[in-house]
């Protein structure tokens, strides 16, 4: 590390800790917003693990004890909810993988065609429409063209890039001359989710990943300081969901509950979704599954899903859903192996009310209140706050003004 970089890092940390200078806030139109998602950062990692930068940002800004994800607590649905304010059933990214029976097409995490992403207006499009330049250094959906529009700057997803390279990539856009510089940036880290899956949420490797992510946030803050932008930057740091321990022993098999030749299996893991084939009586088939289900499995027809899960609208959601308790998974025996299952110690996707599925929310910067702790907040409210921090009129969405009222300085 060069001594110059070290100086900026220390200066940045002092400011984060509230020991640096405090100036009058810049005019709202001169303020910038960077939204960082640390995938799989469970709400309690902040206290559990060594994360001095994030903790200082939380202490000095607005921190939600826990943020509730939307169902299913998976990466793609929740990232699009965070930037649209829409529930997955409304923006249409209802899972990481899913099947559209109407058009007979499949979605997966590599799909960037517009058709998948035009169900909800992401904040970078709201920004571009209202004359605010945006720059996405990774975010699900950011590579898609939205009704002919896209972010001014976008970097196609490249998992190989280190968190430091991602930070430096975003900073390079913010270093552009004022007339080219974006006012909105997104950034995404996946190392904490990767470690959580492989080693489990309580493992030292996951603690180390949290520490590395924290270091990258310090690098971002120091980089903004170096560019003279730190005092006008609003930082919103979120995650998409938490992480729970899993074990191969806590597995229920679909084959024990139903005749799989009668269905198309559309989701397995912390919940399952099946679509009965044409001619099968869906309600009777669901009743048959329910009769065989062990106590940790709840069987629902799509239309009977608990209202709080907001997962009962549209043909794309599987007609029968099987929800399992935390730590339990539901799999196809034919596609499962004990040895493979043993290699994975963590997962997410359960009911958002499950404590372990809770996510991270921190907001820090001139637009936000200081030293405010708020209780559990639902992630549909984040989009309205992002818009408010940039002075944008939000598109219609499922959130309300509660986070704006709790977090925005007036």
Say whether residue 240 binds Zn ion (CB under 5 A): yes
Torsion of CA 336, 337, 339, 343, to 10 degrees: -10
The three-class DSSP label of residue 22 is coil
Say whether residue 160 binds ligand AMP (CB under 6 A): no
Distance of closest approach, residue 234 Cβ to ligand AMP, in angstroms:
23
> Under rule CB under 6 A, which residues in 16-45 are in contact with ligand AMP?
39
Among 140, 223, 318, 365, binds ligand AMP (CB under 6 A): 140
E-assigned strands of 44-173? 62-68, 98-100, 105-107, 134-137, 153-155
CB distance 408 to 95 below 8 Å: no
Say whether residue 266 binds Zn ion (CB under 5 A): no
CB distance 140 to 190 below 8 Å: no
Distance of closest approach, residue 340 Cβ to Zn ion, in angstroms:
16
CB distance 220 to 170 below 8 Å: yes
Say whether residue 159 binds ligand AMP (CB under 6 A): yes
CB atoms within 10 A of CB 168: 17
Distance of closest approach, residue 203 Cβ to ligand AMP, in angstroms:
16
Distance of closest approach, residue 360 Cβ to Zn ion, in angstroms:
12
Active site residue 206: no
Give the integer Cα–Cα distance in Å for 238 and 359.
Answer: 7
Q: Up-side HSE of residue 155: CA atoms within 13 Å toward CB?
A: 23
Among 89, 190, 266, 331, binds ligand AMP (CB under 6 A): 190
Among 26, 28, 52, 109, binds ligand AMP (CB under 6 A): 109
Per CB under 6 A, which region of 123-131, 188-196, 320-328, 399-407 contacts ligand AMP? 188-196
Residue tagged active-site, from 53, 75, 233, 354: 75
> Under rule CB under 5 A, which residues in 130-189 are in contact with Zn ion?
none
* β-bridge partners, 298: 323
Secondary structure element (H or E) that encloses residue 246, with its range: none
Q: Which does 96 bind (CB under 5 to 8 A by kind): ligand AMP, Zn ion, none?
A: ligand AMP
Give the integer Cα–Cα distance in Å for 161 and 222.
Answer: 20
Q: Up-side HSE of residue 295: CA atoms within 13 Å toward CB?
A: 0
Distance of closest approach, residue 93 Cβ to Zn ion, in angstroms:
13
Say whether residue 37 binds Zn ion (CB under 5 A): no
Residue ranges that bind ligand AMP, judged by CB under 6 A:
39, 74-75, 96, 109-110, 138, 140, 157, 159, 188, 190, 193-194
Residue ranges that bind Zn ion, judged by CB under 5 A:
39-40, 75, 193, 240
> Catalytic residue numbers?
75
């Amino acid at each position: 590390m060069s001594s110059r970089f070290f100086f900026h890092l220390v200066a940045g940390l002092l400011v984060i800790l509230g020991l640096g200078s405090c100036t009058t806030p810049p005019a709202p139109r001169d303020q910038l917003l960077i939204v960082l998602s640390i995938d799989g950062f469970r709400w309690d990692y902040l206290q559990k693990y060594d994360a001095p930068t994030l903790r200082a940002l939380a202490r000095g800004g607005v921190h939600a004890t826990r943020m509730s994800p939307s169902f299913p607590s998976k990466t793609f649905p929740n990232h699009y909810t965070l930037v649209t304010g829409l529930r997955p059933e409304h923006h249409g990214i209802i899972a990481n993988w899913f099947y559209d029976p109407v058009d007979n097409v499949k979605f997966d995490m590599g799909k960037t065609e517009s058709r998948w992403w035009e169900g909800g207006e992401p904040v970078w499009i709201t920004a571009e429409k209202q004359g605010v330049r945006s720059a996405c250094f990774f975010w699900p959906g950011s590579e898609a063209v939205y009704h002919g529009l896209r972010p001014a700057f976008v970097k196609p997803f490249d998992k190989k890039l280190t968190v430091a390279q991602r930070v430096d990539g975003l900073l390079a856009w913010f270093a552009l001359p004022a007339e080219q510089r974006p006012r909105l940036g997104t950034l995404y880290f996946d190392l904490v989710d990767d470690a959580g899956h492989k080693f489990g949420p309580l493992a030292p490797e996951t603690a180390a990943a949290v520490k590395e992510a924290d270091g990258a946030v310090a690098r971002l803050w120091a980089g903004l300081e170096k560019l003279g932008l730190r005092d006008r930057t609003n930082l919103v740091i979120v995650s998409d969901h938490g992480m729970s321990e899993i074990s191969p022993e806590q597995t229920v098999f679909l084959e024990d509950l139903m005749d799989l030749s009668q269905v198309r299996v559309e989701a397995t893991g912390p919940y399952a979704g099946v679509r009965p084939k044409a001619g099968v009586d869906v309600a009777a088939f669901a009743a048959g599954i329910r009769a065989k289900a062990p106590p940790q499995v709840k069987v629902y027809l799509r239309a009977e899903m608990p209202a709080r899960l907001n997962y009962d609208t549209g043909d794309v959601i599987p007609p029968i859903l099987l929800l399992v308790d935390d730590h339990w998974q539901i799999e196809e025996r034919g596609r499962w192996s004990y040895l493979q299952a043993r290699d994975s110690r963590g997962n997410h996707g359960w009911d958002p009310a499950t404590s372990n599925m809770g996510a991270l929310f921190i907001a820090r910067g001139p637009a936000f209140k200081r030293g405010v702790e708020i209780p559990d907040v639902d992630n549909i409210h984040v989009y309205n706050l992002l818009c408010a921090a940039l002075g944008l009129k939000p598109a219609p969405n499922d959130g309300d003004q509660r986070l704006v009222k709790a977090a925005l300085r007036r």
